[in-house]
Structure 1
Amino acid sequence: MKYPNVFAITGVIGSGKSTVAKLLREAGETVLDADEYAKFILSEHYQEYPELVQELKQRFGDQVIHEGKINRKKLGELVFANKQKLEELNQLIHPRVRKLFEQDLLQYKGKRIFYDVPLLFEKNMQNDFAATIVVYAPEEIAIQRAANRLGLTKDQVKERMQNQISIEKKKKLADYVIENTQGMAELKEQVNMLLQTLENKYGTKQ
């Protein structure tokens, strides 16, 4: 186990990972986010990764670079419609995401951390963490939520979901499941119950 104080959170688009992360932060927990690291690399701080800009240009063409900046919208359109291209992008981004995550961990030594990892099971990383937590919502509910939140059609959401393990399989693989089907009050109660369970099994956070 690489990260014995870290609990990995995953799910699918629209299942409610971000909402659970928000509730955990409100409860005083530390939550790190793999997607935020990826955005950090591709958006605000792309200039710190000149070699990445060149690699993206070589693999995906000039269209993904606009005025020297990474065009995330165009890049997304390319990779979400093509599983092979998505895997190529992940191969470029994930090592850099992991490096940022591990750098942040240094300031939280011994403290309980939650880490939002969308591709936890897809990348076979589940054994790196103390335990895995899946935020669950039935696929149709997740699709509708994602379509509403992102302004996508249901077919576009389904296309993105095809690149991930199904939520039903993730639910079976998880150590803990948070059911996100009954509204905010019920979700908050489940988060609090999870925290109590983790404290009983792993000890209080430091």
Structure 2
Amino acid sequence: MILLGLTGSIGMGKSTTAKIFSEYGVPVHDSDEAVHRLYRGKAAPLVEAAFPGTTRDGIVDRSKLAEKVLGDPVALRRLEEIVHPLIRADATAYLKPHHAAGAPLAVLDIPLLYETDGRDRVDLVVVVSAPYEVQRERVLARPGMTEEKFQKILAKQVPDEEKRALADFVIDTSQGMESVREAVADIIEKLTGKRPKRMMEAVSESR
């Protein structure tokens, strides 16, 4: 089974692209979704032990946790040491049945793939990208986002140009959904030798 890492800077369209891979029947493990689950389960007592007062009713309070770790590299590294192994274990558990079933391809959706050790976990990497003005417009449209927050987030991420240079595949998400779907289908076909069909199309044809 080929493991394809999917990543991209904030506002580049990674989540939408991940959904399109899913539409084509490719198993996708979403690291962000895994974190949300872990913060409601296995990670909560570990985070509370490291950062007292950051959980409520056994669930990590993300705003309180942010107050503890943002702007503190040592605290952030400590949090990563707790969470990253749990995410990797979650991904392994998710992929196991797909591997056993003979799935030719699976995607690991890893937001900070190049900023962490994510590249070592996958065979190939897809980077989603868009022109800076498109990215900025998307991000500033998010509730509570400001120019200052946006620039701080960018400063912590590997530059888009560098990510594109390191990638095996680059998908431009600024040209509309159909363009992204076509690009995803091209990647799947190149890696599996078969042109994929969206799940809805496949079901319709089987009736």
Output the TM-score relative to the length of structure 2: 0.82
Q: Which residue of 1 aligns with 2:78?
A: 88
Q: Percent identity?
A: 30
Task: Note if contact 1:144-1:154 (Cα within 8 Å) is conserved in structure 2.
Answer: no
Q: Does 1:198 align with 2:191?
A: yes
Q: Does 1:9 align with 2:6?
A: yes
Q: Does 1:102 align with 2:99?
A: no
AA matched with 2:13: G
Q: Which residue of 1 aligns with 2:24?
A: 27
Q: How does 1:21-60 map to 2 (within 5 A)?
A: 21-42=18-39, 44-45=40-41, 49-57=44-52
Residues 114-149 of structure 1 deviation map (CA, whole Å, 9 limit, x = unaligned): 110112111233133121110112333223212213
Task: Note if contact 1:80-1:160 (Cα within 8 Å) is conserved in structure 2.
Answer: no
Task: Note if contact 2:3-2:122 (Cα within 8 Å) is conserved in structure 1.
Answer: yes
Q: Which residue of 2 aligns with 1:162?
A: 155
Q: Which residue of 2 aligns with 1:188?
A: 181
CA distance in 2, matches of 1:114, 1:131: 10
Q: Secondary structure at the match of 1:74?
A: helix
Instruction: Note closer, same or farther for the CA distance 1:97–1:108 as it changes in structure 2 (3 Å cut).
Output: same
Deviation larger for 74-83 or 130-139: 74-83
CA distance in 2, matches of 1:166, 1:82: 22
Q: Which residue of 2 aligns with 1:72?
A: 62
Task: Note if contact 2:6-2:127 (Cα within 8 Å) is conserved in structure 1.
Answer: yes
Deviation at 1:68, TM superposition (A): 4.8
CA distance in 1, matches of 2:137, 2:77: 26
Instruction: Note closer, same or farther for the CA distance 1:56–1:166 as it changes in structure 2 (3 Å cut).
Output: same
AA matched with 2:79: L
Q: Secondary structure at the match of 1:91?
A: helix
Output the TM-score relative to the length of structure 1: 0.83
Instruction: Note closer, same or farther for the CA distance 1:6–1:30 as it changes in structure 2 (3 Å cut).
Output: same
Residues 55-94 of structure 1 deviation map (CA, whole Å, 9 limit, x = unaligned): 232xxxx3x2345532112323544444443333212210
Deviation at 1:18, TM superposition (A): 0.3
AA matched with 1:10: T
Q: Which residue of 2 aligns with 1:143?
A: 136
Deviation larger for 113-122 or 155-164: 155-164
Aligned residues: 193
Instruction: Note closer, same or farther for the CA distance 1:68–1:22 as it changes in structure 2 (3 Å cut).
Output: closer
AA matched with 1:157: F
AA matched with 1:144: E
Q: Secondary structure at the match of 1:24?
A: helix
Q: Secondary structure at the match of 1:152?
A: coil
**5+ residue gaps, structure 2:** 197-207
RMSD value, Cα: 2.3
Deviation at 1:54, TM superposition (A): 1.1
